[in-house]
């Protein structure tokens, strides 16, 4: 990716995956392209990306970068910000890229949104080199550790368990579940 990047083509691929055109897709394309440029991975398997929002931007970033949650190359930190960080695992270099567009809002105007793709990087995104704090248990590859939860008995992967009164305990059994069981 570089000066000759076909942003419109990438946006088209993102729209096909995501289902519609929106500013999240536009900003996601620009953030992803800049992040790939900065991370400069020679092998796509050397890239880990962390997105900071669980909205449209995340779909654009995964589409452009080829990272995947199931391959552990895409991480979600739901901070609600239009940003992503890019780690080159071969070099250890990492960069955070975030939306910095301050022009007139494009709203639902497709032409205006597509026009944003043509602006220089400095008018669209900002970036900085960072230290990417990623635990070894978060890296791609086979699970480093698997334990049975001392409460529910389900297997817990990659250090997600915490000490509990009955031994290793999954976060859900420690009271941080996103769901609750229906009483019968």
**Residue 117 sits in the same domain as residue 161:** no
* Nearest residue to 20 via CA among 28, 32, 12, 8: 12
Q: Is 1 within a domain? A: no
What is the per-residue pLDDT for 181? 79
For residue 14 the two structure tokens come to: 């993102």
What is the per-residue pLDDT for 45? 93
What is the per-residue pLDDT across 157-182, written as a single tens digit (0 to 9) for each? 998 999 999 999 999 999 888 888 78
DSSP state of 178: S
What is the per-residue pLDDT across 108-154, written as a single tens digit (0 to 9) for each? 788 888 888 889 999 999 999 999 999 888 989 999 899 999 999 99
What is the per-residue pLDDT for 176? 84
Instruction: Decide if pLDDT at 107 tops 90.
Output: no
Residue 48 domain boundaries: 7-135
- Which CATH number is 51's domain given? 3.30.1330.130
**Residue 148 sits in the same domain as residue 60:** no
Beta partners for residue 169, in sequence order:
162
* Nearest residue to 31 via CA among 9, 52, 15, 17: 52
Tell me the whole-structure pTM to 2 decimals: 0.88
**Residue 93 sits in the same domain as residue 124:** yes
Q: Is 36 within a domain? A: yes
- Which CATH number is 146's domain given? 3.30.60
**Residue 85 sits in the same domain as residue 172:** no
Q: Is 52 within a domain? A: yes
Q: How far apart are CA 94 and CA 92, in angstroms?
A: 6
What is the per-residue pLDDT across 6-42, written as a single tens digit (0 to 9) for each? 998 999 999 999 999 999 999 999 999 999 999 999 9
Q: Is 31 within a domain? A: yes
> Given pLDDT bands bounded at 50, 70 and 90, which one contains residue 183?
confident
In this structure, is the dihedral angle defined by the CA atoms of residues 118, 119, 121 and 126, taken in order, positive or negative? negative
Q: Is 155 within a domain? A: yes
What is the per-residue pLDDT for 1? 53
């Amino acid at each position: 990716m570089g000066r000759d990047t076909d942003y419109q083509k990438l946006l088209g691929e993102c729209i096909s995956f995501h289902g519609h055109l929106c500013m999240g897709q536009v900003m996601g394309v620009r953030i992803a392209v800049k992040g790939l440029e900065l991370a400069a991975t020679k092998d796509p398997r050397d890239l880990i990306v962390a997105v900071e929002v669980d909205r449209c931007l995340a779909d654009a970033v995964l589409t452009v970068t080829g990272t995947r949650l199931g391959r552990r190359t895409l991480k979600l930190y739901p901070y609600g910000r239009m940003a992503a960080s890019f780690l080159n695992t071969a070099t250890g270099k990492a960069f955070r890229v975030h939306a910095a567009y301050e022009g007139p809002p494009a709203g639902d105007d497709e032409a205006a949104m597509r026009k944003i793709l043509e602006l220089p990087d400095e008018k669209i995104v900002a970036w900085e080199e960072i230290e990417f704090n990623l635990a070894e248990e978060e890296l791609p590859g086979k699970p480093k550790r698997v334990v049975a939860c001392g409460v529910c008995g389900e297997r817990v992967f990659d250090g997600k368990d915490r000490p509990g009164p009955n031994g290793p305990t999954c976060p859900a059994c420690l009271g941080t579940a996103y769901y609750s069981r229906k009483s019968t």
